[in-house]
């Protein structure tokens, strides 16, 4: 009897201890409330930044991108206007103490949007050329009046010289089947062709002889250049600048007045601005590379070309031939290539310099199905 009683007592104690332990393991600590809260999720350049302060918090110092600012504090609100601001995320650090004299610091990431409303750029179709329906167009470029085209899809990717007048292939080279070809650009008698997720850029002569490959550590979407600076998109809202041997030089994040402009794809540098296809739309944006602001946009008629579902066979391909105030555009598996006049692109005067800047990452490269 005593043995049975002892056993029951030990079992009861064990269950009690287990219950307490389980309670300790499943009960999460009470989160510390934020002492500072932004009143908006995003601001435009030129806006005052306004924050709601907890009544128990007394502010001692405010830093904007590691630079001190002098805020106005009134009725539980802290506000200041940054002297200068670029688009993208900025770090705001507020230090102070609570009513219990505890020293604390709160860090916020403030997203700043463009203060420019992009102007709508009008276009006129000047001429229509045949284009191979089998070409999953990823890059388009003129060099010495020769049209080059890069295509995508594993096992179908290639680089071609194309006859503009009839769309026929003059010369081509296939990529190995494991590579998904992307954007192209031609610099100093050599062609750069990106690949999507392989992190390799193929480097050819203009006679399509492969010379070497370069390595990069993002997705590859679109590529263009200004003089000896390569400009690359990776599907996010970021443009990254490289030297001709693919050493990273800097980056710019791209915003309009509605926020970050993501899915930047095929690129072309025209008159001091970067033009970018926005993937899966009929939109081409005009980007000021110095500020990252979208200053203009082309909205291509979704019925161009006629009979093509441009939701599936999307716009993708921009080429500029020096000396013409026109662009050449096409899309994936389109039957046509169009020469369009966009006068406003050339009325602003040529921008002579490309200013490189470092920027906080705006987003991770997208992992998406490009097919």
pLDDT in tens, 205-240: 999 999 999 999 999 999 999 999 999 999 999 999
Q: How confident is the model at residue 31 (pLDDT cuts 50, 70, 90)?
A: very low
Q: Is the pTM of this model over 0.75?
A: yes
- Find the Cα–Cα–Cα–Cα dihedral 131, 133, 135, 141, rounded to 10°: 20
End-to-end Cα separation, the chain, in angstroms: 77
| Highest mean pLDDT: which range of 33-37, 211-215, 364-368 | 211-215
pLDDT in tens, 158-197: 999 999 999 999 999 999 999 999 999 999 999 999 999 9
Q: Tokens 């809260």 map to which residue? A: 37
* C-alpha span between 73 and 19 (Å, rounded): 50
pLDDT in tens, 67-90: 999 999 999 999 999 987 799 999
Strand partners, 43: 112
pLDDT at 35: 81
pLDDT above 90: percentage of residues in the chain: 73
- Find the Cα–Cα–Cα–Cα dihedral 298, 299, 304, 308, rounded to 10°: 120
* C-alpha span between 293 and 287 (Å, rounded): 6
Q: For all residues of the chain together, what is the average pLDDT? A: 87
3-state SS string over the chain? CHHHHHHHHHHHHHHHHHHHHHHHHHCCCCCCCCCEEECCCEEECCCCEEEEECCCEEEEEEEECCEEECCEEECCEEEECCCCCCCEEEEEEEEEEECCCCEEEEEEEEEEECCCCCEECCCEEEEEEECCCCCCEEEEEEECCEEEEEECCCCCCEEEEECCCCCCEEEEEECCCCCCEEEEEEECCEEEEEECCCCEEEEEECCCCEEEEEECCCCCCCEEEECCEEEEECCCCEEEEECCCCCEEEEEECEECCEECCCEEEEEEECCEEEEEECCCCEEEEECCCCCEEEEEEECCCCCCCCCCCCCCCEEEEECCCCCCEEEEEECCCCEEEEEECCHHHHCCCCCCCCCCCCCCCCCCCCCCCC
Report whether pLDDT(336) > 60.
yes
pLDDT above 70: percentage of residues in the chain: 85
pLDDT at 3: 43
């Amino acid at each position: 009897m005593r043995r049975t009683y002892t056993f029951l007592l030990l079992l009861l104690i064990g269950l009690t201890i287990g219950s307490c332990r389980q309670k300790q393991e499943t009960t999460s600590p009470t989160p510390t409330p934020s002492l500072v809260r932004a009143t908006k999720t995003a601001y435009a350049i030129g806006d005052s930044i306004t924050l709601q302060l907890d009544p128990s918090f007394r502010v001692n110092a405010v830093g904007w991108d590691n630079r001190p600012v002098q805020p106005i504090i009134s009725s539980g609100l802290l506000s200041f206007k940054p002297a200068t601001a670029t688009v993208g995320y900025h770090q705001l650090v507020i230090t102070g103490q609570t009513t219990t004299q505890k020293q604390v610091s709160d860090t916020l990431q403030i997203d700043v949007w463009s203060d420019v409303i992009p102007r709508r750029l009008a276009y006129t179709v000047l001429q229509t050329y045949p284009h191979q329906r089998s070409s999953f167009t990823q890059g388009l470029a003129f060099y010495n009046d020769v049209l080059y085209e890069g295509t995508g899809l594993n096992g179908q990717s290639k680089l071609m010289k194309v006859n503009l007048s009839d769309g026929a292939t003059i010369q081509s080279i296939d990529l190995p089947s494991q590579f998904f070809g992307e954007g192209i650009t031609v610099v100093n008698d050599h062609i750069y062709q990106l690949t999507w997720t392989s992190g390799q850029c193929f480097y050819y002569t203009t006679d399509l002889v492969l010379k070497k490959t370069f390595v990069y550590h993002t997705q590859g979407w679109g590529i263009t250049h200004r003089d000896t600076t390569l400009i690359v998109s990776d599907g996010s809202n970021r443009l990254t600048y490289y030297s001709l041997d693919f050493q990273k030089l800097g980056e710019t994040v791209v915003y309009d007045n509605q926020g970050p402009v993501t899915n930047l794809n095929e690129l072309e540098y025209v008159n001091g601005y970067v033009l970018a296809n926005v993937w899966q739309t009929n939109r081409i944006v005009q980007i000021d590379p110095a500020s990252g602001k979208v200053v203009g946009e082309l909205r291509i008629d979704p019925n161009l070309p006629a009979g093509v579902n441009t939701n599936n066979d999307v716009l993708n391909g921009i080429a500029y031939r020096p000396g013409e105030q026109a662009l050449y555009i096409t899309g994936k598996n389109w039957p046509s290539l169009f020469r369009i006049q966009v006068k406003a692109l050339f009325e602003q005067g040529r921008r002579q310099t490309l200013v490189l800047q470092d920027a906080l990452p705006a987003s991770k490269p997208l992992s998406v199905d490009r097919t």
